[in-house]
Structure 1
Amino acid sequence: MPEGDTVWQAARRLHTALAGKVLTRSDLRVPRYATADLTGRTVLDVTPRGKHLLTRIEGGLTLHSHLRMDGSWKVYANGQRWSGGPAHQIRAILGTVDRTAVGYRLPVLELIRTTDEDRAVGHLGPDLLGPDWNPDKALQNLLRDPARPLGEALLDQRNLAGIGNVYKSELCFLLGVTPWLPIGALPADRAAHLPALAKKLLESNRDSPTRNTTTPSTAARNTTGRSTQGHSATGRDQNLYVYGRTARPCLRCHTPIRSADQGDGSRERPTYWCPTCQTGPTPPPGAAKPRTSNRRTAN
């Protein structure tokens, strides 16, 4: 699932292509809105809200979309070949005199009144990349259920909006604890630093096509006080500390990275950690993650 920085980049591309321009083509390929015609209306702005996209259109309308696992918005110049996937996967087309935005595999696409946006995104916590960011409120939300595993709490968009599976694993590494640690057991100094660290990671990556959590500008030291730099290898394999690095050496201590599924009983996600650098409970080797909660994680 795309994370907050990826959605922020998508919103910026769409805003640059569409904002302030009149729609000359409109095609919403979902049954409920198949007859909706937005041509002749001006696109006012495209705004990200956590992992959601809000395309606001003249006349008090908002096209709300969510990418989830496979969705994407592509922008093409007139005459450029569309390459986001086969035609049957297209869910939305918004065209102007010089650009066309095409939404592929969008699992959530709805046309709502702009005044009703709260119905679509009002459940979200403070947005790490939004104007409503409030670190104190985010921490309060996270600590509301002290027994909940840290990884699950970070993914719940009702607590804070924008963290996905990559940043969940990377944040837990930088905090020096496993994703299965009850968030109430996180040392107070690290808990206090968590919102600022999360915001720093997303802000440092929102303008980059390649996500990186290991550079000095993002996280030169983890919150245990131990250096997370000093590894000699370079290249794409060194962009992330633990995510996607199963069995490869930890960039700090060289212990092989481990992985297991973590979820809330409704959805399991691959999760990565270093068994040396991170303390806290973990599932047994080779075993499925034990069910620790029956809560659903809101997107």
Structure 2
Amino acid sequence: MVKQSVVPMLVLVALAIAGCSSTPDHSSRYSISQDRAPAGNFDVSGLQDAQPRYEKPRSAGNKSPYTVWGKSYRVMSSNERYVQQGTASWYGEKFHGHKTSNGEIFNMYAMSAAHKSLRIPSYARVTNLDNGRSVIVRVNDRGPFHGDRLIDLSYAAAKKLGYLGSGTARVEVAAINVRPDGSMTMAGKPFGGSSEPIASTGNQALFVQLGSFSHRSPAQMLLEQASQAISNPMRVREIVTESGRFHRVQVGPFHNEDEALEAQTRLEDRGFKESILLTDNH
């Protein structure tokens, strides 16, 4: 193993900035040489999107311009109105547990991403243009620095978008800006916070999902905790997917978005921070 003290400083700086799967990497700080998905079958069917919130601007990870492997890049002065289409890749086990460009720890099971020019940390909605799926990710890393790729998603986010098998996908990336008062815009337009337009659900009932478990007992425990915090109807819905059987804790039904969002806010105020809004057919 090469000692850090004899590695040229330029390489160390480049690696600290890069920190994602599509960056050429010859250092020995990673335990495996090739990136890969984790063993097993991680279920993302109930995985919630990143929840956009206001975060004070930081200097970490936003140095501009910066150089990686001889090429210079610039960080945007503002993410406002950013929307662009391009190719998405993903990164996983090789980088899991290592620092991202702004000093946080990369978690391949979290809804996060790397981007060359968006200010970090920030949020973006990423839509797979081939299948119409959308997710919201938190951008906290720099990259990808391979070819013409636009964004690197975490393993979990890529799996939720449905392109792990192909490795890349055609996507649209739209920046989400959160103001100090909590109001949000996406690509310069007012935004409500979900990865899919709720208006498209028609007359389908809406539910606030608090969690998804492979066994019923933890789901029942969460249901009992939620029932003490809020009086709305709720259920444990058992479903069978390609990944197995799951028990989903859901509050509802609600017949319009306003009712559902109001209940979601009350639940968050009572400590249930990790929730998603979905329709009855999900």
| TM-score, scaled to structure 2 | 0.25
Between Structure 1 and Structure 2, the one with more helix by share is: 1
Report which structure shows greater RCO (CA 8 Å, sep ≥6): 2
Between Structure 1 and Structure 2, the one with more strand by share is: 2
